[in-house]
Amino acid sequence: MVSRRIFIVIVFCCIGSAVLAQNVKVKKETARVKGQNTEGVAVDLAGTEEEVNTAFLRYLKTVGKVRQSDGVFSLSDVTINGNTYAAPVYGLVRPRESMAQAWLGISGSEWSPEMAEKINPELEKVSYEFGVKFYRDKIQVQIDESVRALTAVERQQQRLANEDKNLNAKLLDNKKQKEQLEKALENNKIEYESLLKKLDKNRLDQDSLVVAAEQVRKIVEMHRERQQKIN
């Protein structure tokens, strides 16, 4: 169990390192919005279309009011760097080989040339900041998972350390009991041998008393016979 937890931590750290190696690059891209090819900017991100779409929607809500229709985000009341824009900004997420692309752009017919020139650099910054946040959030998820796995490992280590302490205490008690039992066994052996000797002596004493009793019995008979002879 412990080695498996450690392996999980290592895997997460390796994955996190791979994400850290990603560079966020904003490039100009055209997307189909309202049946028209629309110029904009985009970032390619190492993630599924679903997770990029979820993250993009969440991020766009911090920029303006978002509505979604046919896979296209429409932003109104867009506020960037303290400047609010009335004309809409569009966004969408689409697959790009093994990655997913987050795109942002405006329709030239809805913006004056001056305002379009002003917001386009801002959209590049927004796209870049989203790409950075996307990767940082992914890393944070991996960090959180790694920390949880590491915490589990540390708890397991503490549990094993406590178990080791308890086992050592039990081992010490067992050793003392073993010494006491060995001493008791030695005393028992000595007592056993002493009892055997006493038993042997007791038997010898009994044999001697048997002989002595027979001799005394003969003397008693002899005295009785002498007593009978007196007349």
32 φ, ψ to 5°?
-90, 115
* Residue 189 confidence (pLDDT): 92
pLDDT value for 7? 56
Per-residue pLDDT of the chain (231 residues; tens, 9 = 90+): 445 555 555 555 555 444 445 789 999 999 999 889 999 999 999 999 999 999 999 999 999 999 999 899 999 999 999 999 999 999 999 999 889 999 999 998 999 999 999 999 999 999 999 999 999 999 999 999 999 999 999 999 999 999 999 999 999 999 999 999 999 999 999 999 999 999 899 999 898 888 888 898 899 888 888 888 888
pLDDT given at position 18? 47
Q: Which domains, from first to last, does the chain contain?
A: 2-146 (3.30.310)
Residue with tokens 């279309």: 49
Q: Where are the beta strands (DSSP E) in 55-143?
A: 65-69, 72-76, 78-80, 83-85, 89-96, 99-105
Q: Which pTM was predicted? A: 0.68
